[in-house]
Amino acid sequence: MRILTGGSGALGPLAFSPDGRRLAAYAAVAAVGQPYVCVWDSAAGPGPTWAGLPTAHGGRVVFEPDGRHLVVWQWAVAWRVEVGTWAVADEPVLTTLRPAAIAADGRTAVGEPLREGKRVTIRAAASGPTGWAPAAPVELEYNARFDGLGGGAVLLDPTGRRVVRVRARRRHGQPYTVGEFGLQSFDRSAGRVLGEWVGEVPVYCQRLVGPGGVVVLLRDRALFAVHLDEPKSAPVKRLNTSAKHFTDAAFSPDGRWLATTSNDALVTLWDTATWQPARQYEWKIGRLRSVAFSPDGTLCAAGSDTGRVVVWDFDG
């Protein structure tokens, strides 16, 4: 177990490099008036390297597949940072796409769905040795039952192969209660719908797609697991093991485990076969805000509101 030190405040979501050697996060208050990317190298000690961003936009960090660059994005603005020199590109990337989601492996990005008549188009981009380039878009037929639910989001599974569209409609006058919620999963390369689910869960919640078409929704102390390949199934609901609200979640690479953090010092490991808590880790580094697995599943990391990160060996 190792403790890494970062900024003076809460860190954003964590991301491991493809080889698991580096760990990165967006640091909201790393320096006065300027946002930073905080990057730790396992061979360089507990302190981070800082990469200054030219704009206040930033929140999620993803390493590209070769580990030579990382992308920081939020609100459809993405910046590319060179690993090692920590130089930030002069201009944002993926500007024509306005990314709504980037896969955890850094290979794929997708934009918001665009409707033209009875067709819905989702544009995509793929990362390569020289940067990002347009990829084949996905063309879908307009689905009145699903698309009629209203606004939503686009999500990607860790590999970027499965895209999940989200639609939600709250009950009038009750913005924070349960409402109609729709999830539509499809294969990005073939444009084939894999599953569709419409039910009642909290409309405003954190959303995460795992391997095998499982979507996890977090709202306050409640965890909902929806299996998109079983469209008529009811969502699995679990309450947090503590009295605190969930703050983040991450699937292990094989999908066997879901790790969650709460507004306390606990990381809970859930067995995704039963959705029961299997074990807990208590890390006294502050209130935990984020959690991540390394690509090979041998490491797990959790970040706190004090700018510190704990990394430990995960034996599955």
Three-state DSSP at 204 gives coil
pLDDT, one tens digit per residue, over 24-69 is 998 765 444 566 888 998 767 777 888 777 766 567 899 999 999 9
pLDDT, one tens digit per residue, over 274-307 is 999 999 999 999 999 999 999 999 999 999 998 8
Percent of the chain with pLDDT over 70: 90
Around Cβ 95, how many Cβ atoms within 10 Å?
A: 12
Residue 3 pLDDT > 80, yes or no?
Answer: yes
Q: What is the pLDDT of residue 30?
A: 45
DSSP classification of residue 174: B
Q: What pTM was computed for the model?
A: 0.91
Q: Which of 112-126, 135-149, 152-166, 236-250 has the lowest mean pLDDT?
A: 135-149
The C-alpha atoms of residue 138 and residue 126 are separated, in whole angstroms, by 13
User: Which residue would you say has higher pLDDT here, 117 or 254?
Assistant: 254
Percent composition of the chain: helix, strand, coil (DSSP 3-state, to 5): 0, 55, 40
The C-alpha atoms of residue 79 and residue 94 are separated, in whole angstroms, by 9
User: Which residue would you say has higher pLDDT here, 11 or 191?
Assistant: 11
Please state the length of the chain.
316
Residue 178 pLDDT > 70, yes or no?
Answer: no
Q: For the chain, give the mean pLDDT.
A: 86
What is the 3-class SS of 71-95, one letter each residue? EEEECCEEEEEECCCCCECCCCECC
pLDDT, one tens digit per residue, over 219-228 is 999 999 999 8
Contacts 24+ apart (CB under 8 A), 293-297: 293/16, 293/250, 293/251, 293/252, 293/253, 293/259, 294/16, 294/20, 295/16, 295/18, 295/19, 295/20, 295/105, 295/253, 296/20, 296/253, 297/252, 297/253, 297/254
